[in-house]
Amino acid sequence: MKFVCSKSNLLAGLQIVSKAVPNKTTMSILECILVDATKNYIKLTANDMELGMETTIEGEVIEKGIIALDAKMFLDIIRKLPDSDVTIESDGSFKTFIKCEKSNFTIIGKSGEDFSYLPIVEKNHQILISQFTLKEVIRQTIFSISDNENNKLMTGELFDINGNELKVVSLDGHRISIRKIQLKDHYDPARLIVPGKTLNEISKIIPGDADKDVTISFTNNHVLFEFDDTLVVSRLIEGEYFKVEQMLSSDYETKVTVNKRELLNCIDRATLLVKEGDKKPIIINVSDGFIELKINSTLGSMNEDIDVEKQGKDLMIGFNPKFLIDALRVIDDEEVDLYMVNSKAPCFIKNDDESYIYLVLPVNFTTVS
């Protein structure tokens, strides 16, 4: 095998697929990136058996061939090479020569035949969504998945397709995030649970172009994301997702309309008094015309008033400040509406057409004077 390509193209491709290389594995072949130059382009593939990525880069294929190279070493070498053309050549003994200007490396690869190729995903069921929209919907929901592997369902996000609407849901037992997206076409109803890890990695590598689409194809077991010259294949999480609709309510006793930036900045300031790992709630005291936010910790105390529009009853309620910050940060509206029933019931942050809904459970607190 022998090919020549620019360092920038090769590095960009390696940085994409390296996200599917496992940190720890008993199968050394999975620590490799497959370099496939058996056609007139160079294809790079990585696969950890749960998540697989493949991208193609431009280059001149001089002699066709295929080899698997240690991902970390390969990436580190290419990263540190001069910004110039790179020549990669391997012989029958799996010795691989990397040349760039006056730099010459020799590393030992593995047989490409031993590599675990990506599963083939039938394209009978698929939807189209813009790169920008997918990147945004991940950003606006991914923070409320759980990292607790004991409940696998909570480590993924529900993609609920119905007609021309895609609803994306995540939850971790303390909060729920829901985003509803209008699709360009109508599709048959389908529900799939996509691992949070997969979505996190996609959000890092997808350019987010509003004029370019992502094709999402899926079967009962796998989902395939296709954009630009890249494929991302992931196993789906099996099981029946939580009946989130039963947790949502339109009833409220108190509605507060507040400037989002003011509220976010105030809560952010309050967290300066909370040590990492400390579970001090922020207490919101709702009155006519304003809300008072209070926090009291071993480091000190703070209280601040914010002007609001209030409908309904006065209320005092406590929250984990991080959960409010996470939701407010991803809302683009200038003003937000908070709907509450009492100090024990969930708070809903949502807009009029419910294209976003954030549910945050309150926490118990002792009154701060």
Per-residue H/E/C for the chain: CEEEEEHHHHHHHHHHHHHHCCCCCCCHHHHEEEEECCCCCEEEEEECCCEEEEEEECCEEEECCEEEEEHHHHHHHHHHCCCCEEEEEECCCCEEEEEECCEEEEEECECHHHCCCCCCCCCCCEEEEEHHHHHHHHHCCHHHCCCCCCCHHHHEEEEEEEEEEEEEEEECCCEEEEEEEEEEEEEEEEEEEEEHHHHHHHHHHCCCCCCCEEEEEECCCEEEEEECCEEEEEECCCCCCCCHHHHCCCCCCEEEEEEHHHHHHHHHHHHHHCCCCCCCCEEEEEECCEEEEEEEECCEEEEEEEECEEEECCEEEEECHHHHHHHHHCCCCCEEEEEECCCCCCEEEECCCCCEEEEECCECCCCCC
User: DSSP assignment of 235-264, as one string?
Assistant: EPPPSPPP-GGGG-----SEEEEEEHHHHH
- pLDDT grade, residue 366 (50/70/90)? confident
Check: CB of residue 337 under 8 Å from CB of residue 326: no
pLDDT in tens, 246-279: 999 899 999 999 999 999 999 999 999 988 777 8
> pLDDT band at 369, cuts 50/70/90?
very low
121 pLDDT higher than 60:
yes
Least confident interval from 213-217, 297-301, 360-364: 297-301
pLDDT at 24 over 90: no
Residue 341 above 50 pLDDT? yes
Poorest-pLDDT segment among 75-79, 285-289, 346-350, 365-369? 365-369
CA atoms in the 13 A half-sphere facing the CB of 221: 6
Residues 61-84, mean pLDDT to the nearest whole number: 97
Taking the C-alpha atoms of residue 216 and residue 159, their distance in angstroms, rounded to an integer, is 11
The pLDDT confidence band at residue 150, using thresholds 50, 70 and 90, is confident
pLDDT, average across residues 354-368? 88
CATH class of 248-360: alpha beta
Q: What is the pLDDT of residue 141?
A: 98
Helix (H, G, I), strand (E, B) or coil at 84: coil
Where in the sequence of the chain do the CATH 3.10.150.10 domains occur?
2-114, 126-244, 248-360
Please give the CATH superfamily to which domain 126-244 belongs.
DNA Polymerase III, subunit A, domain 2 (3.10.150.10)
Is the domain spanning 2-114 CATH 3.10.150.10? The answer is: yes
What is the pLDDT of the chain when averaged over all its residues? 95
* pLDDT exceeds 70 at position 120: yes
* Predicted pLDDT of residue 117: 86
| Whether the predicted pLDDT of 26 surpasses 90 | no
Tell me if 57 sits within 8 A of 83, measured CB to CB: no
Can you give the pLDDT at residue 295?
93
Write out pLDDT tens, residues 232-249: 999 999 999 999 999 998
Cβ(52)–Cβ(119) under 8 Å?
A: yes
pLDDT confidence bin for 92, thresholds 50/70/90:
confident
The pTM for the full model equals: 0.93
